Amino acid sequence: MEKEIDVEHILIELKNLSHEELLIYWIKNRLKEAYEYRYFAEKAKMLNKDEDIIELFIILSKDSQSNASRLWEIYKRVFDSGNSEIPEVSLNSADFKFANVSKRLEKVNSPLEVLELAMESKLLLKSIYNDLAEKTQNKESKLICKYLAAIEEENYQKLKLEYEYYKKRNERKLKFPSL
């Protein structure tokens, strides 16, 4: 039986981080997400050679990488950091999302299931970022949380469009099989 994600516990941990630690966490989360999308692309490639879905995951991976770079630039500006590497942040649930998604991804059997799992992941992160934006008192953290929630919504919508397109295309193939 899969362990349920304890969103409240995650929110408490995130809320207890300083603004600097939150930025570090978000940067690392974006980098992990870029890796996750590449993983989704590989899984989709193994299940079906549908280039549209694979390309979408590659684009989302690049978007996540770009978001991490933007957040890193914000971090360096705000904290006048001369660091060339992202510092470490200790958070017990830091890998909660990817670990949970990776386990479930191993069990999927179709590109549609890969898309469903990716959409679920986006909604979970959007919820976490929105909840954190409501609960944090730090104005900068609040703005970054809202920004990240908006990115998750945008990525969810991209995945949803691809899901609907792919589903309809497959339904048409079933109705009109090639001879």
Report pLDDT digits (tens) over 63-98: 889 888 888 888 888 776 677 777 777 666 545 554
pLDDT at 2 exceeding the cut of 50: no
Res 100: pLDDT = 57
Res 1: pLDDT = 39
- pLDDT top residue among 178 and 129: 129
Res 144: pLDDT = 82
- Residue 54 amino acid letter: I
| Mean pLDDT computed over 143-162 | 88
Report pLDDT digits (tens) over 26-71: 888 888 889 888 888 888 788 766 677 788 788 888 888 988 888 8
* Mean of per-residue pLDDT scores for the chain: 78
pLDDT at 152 exceeding the cut of 80: yes
